[in-house]
Amino acid sequence: MSVPTKIYLVVVAVVFVVWMGVSTFVAAKDTGPRFITDMGYLLDNSERFTAILRGRVDVRDVDGRPIAPPEGTLVVDVRARDSAGTLAVRRIGSVQPDGVFEVLSLPHGLATVSVQLGGGETIWEREDIVVGGAGTLDPRIDPIDLGDELFFFEIDVRGPSGAPVTSGQLAWRKVGTQKPGDDVTFDGLAPVGAEGQARFFSTSAVVDAVCMVPGARTELFEELYLDSSIDLGPGIAVDLKVAGELPDAGRWSLRAVLTPVELAPKIELSGQGLLGGEGRSELGTSIYAEVDAGTGRALIPLARGGSYRIRWDALRARRHRFDTLKLPEGEIIDVPTGPGVYQVESTFPIDAFLRKASRRR
């Protein structure tokens, strides 16, 4: 063997020993397995993530009767690591109305499993849950008994007319978690369903709540119990008058869309939650109304006052489909926060409409 070859092999051996020493040192200093978040890595190494975690949550009311969790109200947070302890992943799964949950694409090994409210509050947690193949079922999670620390609310919501509200949102918070008079930050959010009820879980038997229903007053209701009811007073509406030249009413219909910019009262969630991620503050959604072709007006009920940006949609019925032109967002209008019907005038962007319409021909 030549001298240069011997030198080369010695250098390679030294580099290998140094590399092994450094990697061992790093592993010894590491506080735990490495959580994999790179989707490319997960896809390229999918054979390492074939385990399944299945379980069931047993939820009951104060009288011991089973409850079907509404979708999204309970989630399962799984932090699983492989048997070698060298990598780990985090997965989030929803608890279905029958209490069953299933989390896929996990490494074979052990996991820390927690059941949480949709807003992120942990109710139950256990470590070293066995994760394996399709037939693997750790008895500690079948079922998971949440005990008597969870309370199920069914809040009846009635509108200004006294009839049940069939849409909207209810933000709630546990009583005593904030300073007196602070009505800004809330723990969770629940939809008001078609039956006129907001259904949600809390770890407190008493909550404060704010209902956001277009056309009804947005106010704080304090100390609500499990089967309370809410009667909403008259709220806010915008009587929008469309000014300027309009498209041919025989061919086009108009829709005014208001998108919140800054709302009052301000309402935020204290924890961004597992399912919603970031950006769930302000809890505002766009609302629209059709423009009356004869009067050029649109009455738009709102849940809260504040600043809204207006946008116009022009719709034309074609054979078997609708042709919709979404025009650029326009001016910002300010709406008072107190109850009432407020007249606002806005000019339709006819030039932008004609340019878009000519390209659609």
Q: What is the pLDDT of residues 85-109, one digit of tens each?
A: 778 899 999 999 999 999 998 999 9
Quote the CA–CA distance of 155 and 170 in Å, as a whole number: 9
Backbone angles phi, psi at 191, to 5 degrees: -75, 150
Other Cβ atoms closer than 10 A to 187: 24
Beta bridge partners of 76: 93, 115
CATH number at residue 92: 2.60.40.1120
Determine which of 3-12, 151-160, 321-330 has the lowest per-residue pLDDT on average: 3-12
| Residues 50, 113 share a domain | yes
Quote the CA–CA distance of 165 and 192 in Å, as a whole number: 7
* Predicted confidence (pLDDT) at residue 231 exceeds the cutoff of 60: yes
Asked if residue 210 lies in contact with residue 229, where contact means CB atoms within 8 angstroms, the answer is no
Confidence of residue 32 (pLDDT cuts 50, 70, 90): low
Side chain identity at 56, as an amino acid letter? Answer: R
Quote the CA–CA distance of 206 and 222 in Å, as a whole number: 9
Q: What is the mean pLDDT of residues 176-185?
A: 63
| Residues 95, 172 share a domain | no
* Predicted confidence (pLDDT) at residue 282 exceeds the cutoff of 80: no
| Residues 97, 55 share a domain | yes
* Predicted confidence (pLDDT) at residue 162 exceeds the cutoff of 90: yes
Quote the CA–CA distance of 272 and 217 in Å, as a whole number: 25
Closest CA to 347 of 252, 244, 259: 244
Residues 6+ apart with CB under 8 A from 19: none
pLDDT tens for each residue of 38-50: 677 777 778 888 9
Confidence of residue 181 (pLDDT cuts 50, 70, 90): low
| Residues 339, 260 share a domain | yes
Asked if residue 69 lies in contact with residue 201, where contact means CB atoms within 8 angstroms, the answer is yes
| Residues 130, 39 share a domain | yes
Q: Distances in Å between the alpha carbon of 213 and those of 132, 210, 287, 349? A: 46, 10, 11, 30
Quote the CA–CA distance of 193 and 115 in Å, as a whole number: 24
**Domain-terminating residue out of 199, 231, 263:** 231
**Domain-terminating residue out of 231, 246, 263:** 231
Residue 288's domain comprises 236-360
Highest-pLDDT range among 61-70, 116-125, 153-162, 318-327: 153-162
| Residues 194, 106 share a domain | no
| Residues 240, 291 share a domain | yes
Query: Number of structural domains, the chain?
Result: 4
Average pLDDT, the chain: 83
| Residues 348, 271 share a domain | yes
* Predicted confidence (pLDDT) at residue 276 exceeds the cutoff of 90: no
Helices (H), the chain: 3-29, 39-44, 350-360
First to last CA, the chain: 80
* Predicted confidence (pLDDT) at residue 321 exceeds the cutoff of 90: no
Asked if residue 117 lies in contact with residue 123, where contact means CB atoms within 8 angstroms, the answer is yes
**Domain-terminating residue out of 117, 145, 173:** 145
| Residues 272, 349 share a domain | yes
Q: Indicate the pairing of strand 151-158 with strand 229-231.
A: parallel
Confidence of residue 225 (pLDDT cuts 50, 70, 90): very high
Enter the pTM of the model: 0.76
Is the bond preceding 143 in cis, omega lying within 30 degrees of 0? yes
Closest CA to 126 of 27, 48, 57: 57
* Predicted confidence (pLDDT) at residue 26 exceeds the cutoff of 60: no
What is the model's pLDDT at position 176? 73
